[in-house]
Structure 1
Amino acid sequence: MRGVVTCPSLSPACPQTVTLIPGAPLTSHTPGSADELDPSFTFDFHVYDEGLADNQRWSTWLDVEPLMRGPEPRPDWVVTSQGAIDTELGILKTGKEADVFLVERADPLDPDGGVVMAAKRYRDTDHRTFHRAASYTEGRSMKRSRDERALKRKSTWGRLVAAGEWAVSEWGALKRFHELGLPVPYPVQIEGTEILMEWITHSVDGEVNTAPRLAQTRPARDLLEHYYEQLRDALATMVQAGIVHGDLSPYNTLAAGDRLVIIDLPQIVDLVGNVQGMDFLLRDCANMCTWFRARGLEVDEQELFGELMAHAF
């Protein structure tokens, strides 16, 4: 049985103590006053049933270190209750390196305050096919030499380190992009190789669904131009911060109504620190401009690249 105790009046200046006895009511005592209770010293105690289904777990919010939680100020929809339960709703997307699931986090005593999030879970290197990994990680260094040696030997530990490295890389990128004001899902928390983040949705006729990839859309001319302006602004912000997405395309950009949202960030590279940084940036420009041209918008990747370089230096 899981229980949560809250004391609104508890403070260093409050000398009272509380005793919890199974099957007995909660009582508060003030030293020197056995019969009188201070009415301001009150507790709320909520009991949660431990009967979880196979697709459920207790919320891991308090299991992770503070740095493994999303940046503040946090959105109001983030559920931080100690009694919340995570319920897996099914798989949202399969990928070469990771799978994305939908997970609902809700407190049984406050079901209306629950939220559905995307849970991205990285596979180990035996079950993923991350292409050109070495070119993306050039310039990065491991904090522990043991991990770096294990990666080079491709040992069992090295494979676990590799999976965690990509998860940590994406977590760091999501936090950094969010703090820069870039359009990315809000990162809720990371635990091991699982990242919980905002589920990006699109509502049509009152029905909420996952926002489609940009590649799946056929926007009208006005919206197409609006999307391109958002893209150009986002790329300029990245370049000013010395960052390149590294694998940007219409397949990892979501169209959430009239808003573009950039996803899949584990491979971000340093524009200057990585010798291929500018090549990656040009490729990102080419991937996106090719799609916009195919939809009838006259844009040029070389022109966009030159404009971005002006922001970088």
Structure 2
Amino acid sequence: MSSHTPGSADELDPPAPAGFGTFDFRVYDERLASNQRWSTFLDIEPLMRGPEPRPDWVVTSQGAIDTELGILKTGKEADVFLIERADPFDPDSGVIMAAKRYRDTDHRTFHRAASYTEGRSMKRSRDERALKRKSTWGRLVAAGEWAISEWGALKRFHELGLPVPYPVQIEGTEILMEWITHDGDTAPRLAQTRPAPDLLAFYYEQLRDSLATMVQSGIVHGDLSPYNTLAAGERLVIIDLPQIVDLVGNPQGMDFLLRDCTNMCTWFRARGLEVDEQELFGELMAHAF
């Protein structure tokens, strides 16, 4: 006896094409849980996707589903969530990424933007006026600008070979990027670690090399500290890049660089490594010019 009943999916939907079985895509779509969504990787513009060559772990399937696993950390400008992207027809395809979402209506550090963004220009005068008035639209624009700025910085740093999370995609005020781990867990911030002397010195070498690469390209992190540097085993990874500064174009560029050097050298010195921020700053200036 047939199990067909009036109003069931096989009556409402046309038969599947030959060779595709009887899979019901409409019903399948409706079965997405409240913490799930379809991947938009192939729907967004190419410039909104990460640089090529892409790592093998990036899931590009049109049928992939994003599942939100929970919040990883909260911040003043944005919150970071863990997202698993997987193709249900390929059980081995799943990957967990970090989703950084900038707040769009309550950008609490909006007032800090001016010193970082000197020398930048907005494409639309309406947006520029809204930013100056700090209106609701201005806060929306600010959130979008910070997200776009960090996206651009992640791509640029990655292409320079700097140790940053691989940027997977940007959509609106959300950036999907590589989840940096160590032994299966989120890598700790450098500030949370107590490395042995040899590892401490190796971390400093990595830091110095990264800063040299930045200044050679005319870039300053602008807010570098042990709290936005991750210790992934023996590897340092730099995060939180929306405020990157033009070393020459921004009148405060060198001040920001010296502050970055001071923040980092203070931490290393407190852990027993004899370093000096003025010496590091002078070394970096030689690389810059």
| Distance in 1 between residues matched to 2:12 and 2:179, nearest whole Å | 48
Residue aligned with 1:35, SS: helix
Deviation, structure 1 residue 124: 2.4
The answer (yes or no) to whether the contact 2:107–2:143 under 8 Å persists in 1 is no
The answer (yes or no) to whether the contact 1:48–1:83 under 8 Å persists in 2 is no
5+ residue gaps, structure 1, are 1-25
The answer (yes or no) to whether the contact 2:117–2:245 under 8 Å persists in 1 is yes
Deviation, structure 1 residue 50: 3.7
Show CA shifts across 1:212-248 (max 9, x none).
0000000001100100000000000000000000000
The answer (yes or no) to whether the contact 1:91–1:100 under 8 Å persists in 2 is yes
The answer (yes or no) to whether the contact 1:184–1:263 under 8 Å persists in 2 is yes
Comparing 266-275 with 108-117, greater Cα deviation is found at: 108-117
Residue 30 (structure 2) aligned to one of 33, 39, 50: 50
| Distance in 1 between residues matched to 2:260 and 2:66, nearest whole Å | 36
| Distance in 2 between residues matched to 1:151 and 1:133, nearest whole Å | 10
| Distance in 2 between residues matched to 1:34 and 1:124, nearest whole Å | 39
Deviation, structure 1 residue 36: 31
Deviation, structure 1 residue 276: 0.3
Query: Identity, % of aligned pairs?
Result: 92
Partner of 1:229: 205
Residue aligned with 2:242, SS: coil
The answer (yes or no) to whether the contact 1:125–1:162 under 8 Å persists in 2 is no
The answer (yes or no) to whether the contact 2:107–2:139 under 8 Å persists in 1 is no
| Distance in 2 between residues matched to 1:163 and 1:47, nearest whole Å | 36
Show CA shifts across 1:174-205 (max 9, x none).
00000000000000000000000000000xx6
Comparing 142-151 with 285-294, greater Cα deviation is found at: 142-151
Residue aligned with 1:27, SS: coil
Partner of 1:270: 246
Show CA shifts across 1:36-56 (max 9, x none).
999xx9999999554100000
CA, structure 1 residues 80+47, in 2 after alignment: closer, same or farther (shift >3 Å)? Answer: farther
Deviation, structure 1 residue 30: 37
Partner of 1:9: none
CA, structure 1 residues 232+29, in 2 after alignment: closer, same or farther (shift >3 Å)? Answer: farther
Deviation, structure 1 residue 154: 2.0
Comparing 237-246 with 135-144, greater Cα deviation is found at: 135-144
The answer (yes or no) to whether the contact 1:170–1:267 under 8 Å persists in 2 is yes
The answer (yes or no) to whether the contact 1:30–1:37 under 8 Å persists in 2 is no
Deviation, structure 1 residue 88: 0.1
Q: Which has the higher helix share?
A: 2
Residue aligned with 2:281, SS: helix
Residue aligned with 1:99, SS: strand
TM-score, normalised by the number of residues in structure 1 = 0.82
CA, structure 1 residues 182+44, in 2 after alignment: closer, same or farther (shift >3 Å)? Answer: farther
The answer (yes or no) to whether the contact 2:165–2:177 under 8 Å persists in 1 is yes
Comparing 44-53 with 269-278, greater Cα deviation is found at: 44-53
Residue aligned with 1:103, SS: strand
Residue 4 (structure 2) aligned to one of 26, 29, 39: 29
CA, structure 1 residues 35+92, in 2 after alignment: closer, same or farther (shift >3 Å)? Answer: closer
Residue aligned with 2:162, SS: coil
Deviation, structure 1 residue 129: 2.5
Indicate the structure (1 or 2) with the bigger Cα radius of gyration. 1
Residue aligned with 1:273, SS: coil
Partner of 1:137: 117
Deviation, structure 1 residue 298: 0.1
Partner of 1:159: 139
TM-score, normalised by the number of residues in structure 2 = 0.89
Show CA shifts across 1:236-287 (max 9, x none).
0000000000000000000000000000000000000000000000000000
The answer (yes or no) to whether the contact 2:65–2:88 under 8 Å persists in 1 is yes
Residue aligned with 2:147, SS: helix
CA, structure 1 residues 101+29, in 2 after alignment: closer, same or farther (shift >3 Å)? Answer: closer
